[in-house]
Amino acid sequence: MTDGERQLIDAARERLGPKAVVTDPSEIEPWATDWRGRVHGATPAILSPASTEEVAEIVRLAAELRVPLVPQGGNTGMAAGATPPADGSALLLSMRRMNRIRSISAENRLGVAEAGVVLATLHNAAHEVGMRFPLTLGARGSCTIGGLTSTNAGGTQVLKFGTMRSLVAGVEAVLPDGSVHSGLSGLKKDNRGYSLDQLLIGAEGTLGVITAVALRLVPAVAARAVAWAAVDSPERALDLLRFLEARTTSVEGFELVPQDSLHLVLKHIPGTRAPLSGEHKWHVLVEATTADVDQDVGAEIERLLGAALQQGIIGDAVLAANEAQAEAFWKLRDTISEAERAEGQTLAHDISVAVADMPRFIVEASTAVERRFPGVVASGFGHLGDGNIHFHVRAAAHAAPDWYEREGKEITRFVDDLVTAAGGSISAEHGIGQLKRDEFARLAPAGRIHALRAIKQALDPLGIMNPGKLAP
Ligand SMILES: Cc1cc2nc3c(=O)[nH]c(=O)nc-3n(C[C@H](O)[C@H](O)[C@H](O)COP(=O)(O)OP(=O)(O)OC[C@H]3O[C@@H](n4cnc5c(N)ncnc54)[C@H](O)[C@@H]3O)c2cc1C
């Protein structure tokens, strides 16, 4: 531990109280390891401030003592952005005690939540006032508003409501010099030059610590319809999406599932069963909602799927008969990664290309990867309508236990090259963190990297905010 770290820990104990400072290695360990358990960091302490003023004091002192801080929410991020460096040279700044919902207003269609509020808590609070925060994802029981904002998270409803960037109306944050940026007014129009709020969204904790966020709400869901459809190819899946979008505005979730992924889920996840009989090459999960109590969204989707069937766009379809069945359909989608892990070693790539190019990309990239690395199984599933899929490469059945370590890098480089050649992004919704930093540096245009570094240097000249993440 450095002198600076010791001084900061002592000052934090005095200022925040002993309970807000954790130094017991066994308590620290789970928070110093990333969610996937692949990256192990180390830190002498976790500091947990409970107010914006406390965060500002800690950051000011950290700057003075030159001690780097790693902001952390639920630690569910997929790019190890919240994992401290392995040499113990930074302290973790946990935002989980800043967990108040400061206000929630149906009239303004806005909620102001502190950074440590868990997504599911916000969902419930919005529901209580007849509203809804329309972003959701598998980690909703533990990920926080600060983490979601800092990674510009997406999820399964982006098709209709966009990523966090479209749902954040303002940000309050402590900047690296300890000053507070207050952007929570919720103004719909504000053209006073550069938007600090927008810079902080997706900054992965490298430009400051987000302490609270103003979030856009929409009317609560009155009814939803969840359907499962079989298609011959990703191309047909996209045809179905376009067919539906031309006829209704109620579709908000559209997830592609290959047969191989469904097989793994049925094999490894207890209590799951295929929604349709027979073998189908590809599947689509469709979710449609309405806020209008008089609209029969189920009947509408059933009619449209019937028409799609008649036109030969889909091979079969079934509408969930009730909420339990709807949840069972979603479980098939949400447990794909878990099933893959149960099957063996898997390399995950969260990538995007233009929506219209995605069907061809999935097919061609899978073929290219399987040809180049014999024995592996490549498949793409997820948010087809956003041009974002999780492109996973599974090891051959009898691969060596160190396959991931030995071959992972080369396979990922191959996939990233394919994505870049297709004009896409090597990180669609998970961020760069530390896992994708080298690839980002290798593949991003020079101008982009230059601008990123210049912004980082301007706002954090001492380099105390989340070092070693995002900016190469
Ligand atoms: C099961 C599962 C499903 C998921 N599904 C999706 C999905 O569909 N779509 C998607 O986009 N993502 C998904 N994710 C990942 C998603 O990015 C994270 O769940 C979430 O955005 C991170 O929130 P967190 O509070 O856990 O942040 P953490 O993991 O703690 O941190 C993530 C990053 O944000 C920074 N950070 C955290 N809090 C702050 C703050 N207050 N101020 C400044 N910086 C901060 C950290 O330093 C780090 O760089 C999934 C994760 C899991 C485990």
pLDDT one-digit tens code per residue, 300-319: 999 999 999 999 999 999 99
**Cβ(71) to ligand 1 under 6 A?**
yes
**Cβ(162) to ligand 1 under 6 A?**
no
**Cβ(137) to ligand 1 under 6 A?**
yes
DSSP 3-state assignment of 392? Answer: strand
**Cβ(146) to ligand 1 under 6 A?**
yes
Residue 184 has pLDDT above 80, yes or no: yes
- pTM, two decimals, is 0.94
**Cβ(380) to ligand 1 under 6 A?**
no
Residue 125 has pLDDT above 90, yes or no: yes
Instruction: Give me the pLDDT at residue 454, please.
Output: 96
For tokens 């236990």, the residue is 401
pLDDT-derived band at 188, boundaries 50, 70, 90: confident
- For 462, counting Cβ atoms within 10 Å of its Cβ (0-12 exposed, 13-18 middle, 19+ buried), the class is middle
The pLDDT mean for the chain works out to 96
Rounded-to-10 torsion of CA 232, 238, 242, 244? 60
DSSP 3-state assignment of 189? Answer: coil
How far, in Å, from the CA of 96 to the mean position of ligand 1? 13
How far, in Å, from the CA of 140 to the mean position of ligand 1? 10
Instruction: Give me the pLDDT at residue 271, please.
Output: 95
Residue type, 348: A
- In degrees, rounded to 5, the angle at the alpha carbon of residue 84 between the alpha carbons of residues 164 and 66 is 100
Tens digits of residue pLDDT in 65-121: 999 999 999 999 999 999 999 999 999 999 999 999 999 999 999 999 999 999 999
* Beta-strand runs (E) in 153-262: 168-174, 180-182, 209-216, 218-219, 223-231, 251-258
pLDDT-derived band at 38, boundaries 50, 70, 90: confident
**Cβ(114) to ligand 1 under 6 A?**
no
Q: Please report the atom of ligand 1 found closest to the CA of residue 77.
A: 29
**Other residues' Cβ atoms within 10 Å of the Cβ of residue 450:** 11
pLDDT-derived band at 190, boundaries 50, 70, 90: confident
| Calpha distance 144→95 (Å, rounded) | 9
Instruction: Give me the pLDDT at residue 284, please.
Output: 98
Residue among 59, 78, 389, 429 to mutate when testing ligand 1 (max atoms within 8 A of CB): 78
**Cβ(210) to ligand 1 under 6 A?**
yes
| C-alpha 266, offset from chain centre | 25
Helix or strand holding residue 379 (H, E): strand 377-381
pLDDT-derived band at 370, boundaries 50, 70, 90: very high
Residue type, 451: A
293 Rama sector, left if φ>0, alpha if ψ -120 to 50, beta otherwise: alpha
| Calpha distance 176→343 (Å, rounded) | 44
Residue 459 has pLDDT above 80, yes or no: yes
Tokens found for residue 210: 């987000």
| Calpha distance 92→175 (Å, rounded) | 16
Residue 317: beta bridge partners? 229
| Calpha distance 119→134 (Å, rounded) | 11
Tens digits of residue pLDDT in 243-301: 999 999 999 999 999 999 999 999 999 999 999 999 999 999 999 999 999 999 999 99
How far, in Å, from the CA of 372 to the mean position of ligand 1? 33
Instruction: Give me the pLDDT at residue 186, please.
Output: 76
Instruction: Give me the pLDDT at residue 21, please.
Output: 97
At 243, phi and psi to the nearest 5?
A: -60, -45
**Other residues' Cβ atoms within 10 Å of the Cβ of residue 437:** 18
Instruction: Give me the pLDDT at residue 209, please.
Output: 98
**Cβ(204) to ligand 1 under 6 A?**
yes
DSSP 33: B
| Calpha distance 279→357 (Å, rounded) | 26
How many residues would you count in the chain? 472
Q: Please report the atom of ligand 1 found closest to the CA of residue 210.
A: 42
Instruction: Give me the pLDDT at residue 472, please.
Output: 81
Tens digits of residue pLDDT in 223-242: 999 999 999 999 999 999 99
